[in-house]
Amino acid sequence: MPIQSPSGLVQCPIPTPPQVEKAAARLTDDQWQFRKRARQGFTKTDKAGVTTTRLADGACIFLNRPGFHRGAGCALHVGALDAGERFIDWKPDVCWQLPLRLQEHTDDYGHVTSTIREWKRRDWGDGGDEFHWWCTESPDAFVGRVPTYRYLRDELSEMIGGRIYDLLVTQLEARPKKTLLPHPAVRRR
Ligand code: SF4
């Protein structure tokens, strides 16, 4: 269960430590501002058993800050791009999945319904309303010319599987090319 924002302002849950550990070991000082501080480890686990990235100066230890010579942003993302690899294979799950959220519901008969939708502030629990910014609340998030299901192909394929992704594309491309109900962030414009 995610407990804080993966925006880089705080810290993020790491459900797949081996993947992130391997990636972190490949990062260099050129790519990761706080690499030396991470010598003592870059995760911590609380009493409830939830593992998160450690903080460095109040934010995720992987977050390079404004003024860093490689620019502000996630060091794992920088490492993946430098290596010519998918950032999906370097970052914690919730970090690369955002703004997509996969929910699975099992009914009384054991039938599982999977839903992909947008992460909302409310999904973060009580702390969600405290984020000073949330990407999909801004109209700026809706200016891309490539449809989300194409732009986020790798992410969707990882989350729902390649076969289901192909079915999704077939269905979406058979529909009329118009927006039936604009996102609320765009409607407010
Ligand atoms: S691992 Fe990267 S994307 Fe995730 S919270 Fe830290 S800086 Fe942000």
Predicted local distance difference test score (pLDDT) of residue 1: 32
Q: Which of ligand 1's atoms lies nearest the C-alpha of 73?
A: 7
pLDDT higher than 70, residue 171 = yes
* Domain spans, the chain: 17-93, 100-187
Predicted local distance difference test score (pLDDT) of residue 6: 43
pLDDT, tens digit, 9 for 90 and up, residues 126-168: 888 888 888 889 899 889 999 999 999 999 999 999 999 999 9
Q: Which residue has the tokens 């990636």?
A: 23
Taking a C-beta distance cutoff of 8 angstroms, is the pair 185, 134 a contact? no
Beta carbon of 62 within 6 Å of any ligand 1 atom? yes
Taking a C-beta distance cutoff of 8 angstroms, is the pair 128, 121 a contact? yes
The residue contributing the CA closest to ligand 1 atom 2 is 74
Beta carbon of 59 within 6 Å of any ligand 1 atom? no
Helix (H, G, I), strand (E, B) or coil at 128: helix
Predicted local distance difference test score (pLDDT) of residue 54: 92
Name the pTM for this structure.
0.81
Quick check: bond before 17 cis, omega within 30?
Answer: no
Predicted local distance difference test score (pLDDT) of residue 177: 83
Q: How many Å separate Cα 65 from the centre of its chain?
A: 18
Predicted local distance difference test score (pLDDT) of residue 8: 41
Of 7-21, 96-110, 170-184, the poorest mean pLDDT is in: 7-21
Beta carbon of 76 within 6 Å of any ligand 1 atom? yes
pLDDT, tens digit, 9 for 90 and up, residues 24-80: 999 999 999 999 999 988 988 889 888 888 999 999 999 999 999 999 999 999 999
Count of CA atoms in the C-beta half-sphere (13 A) of 5: 20
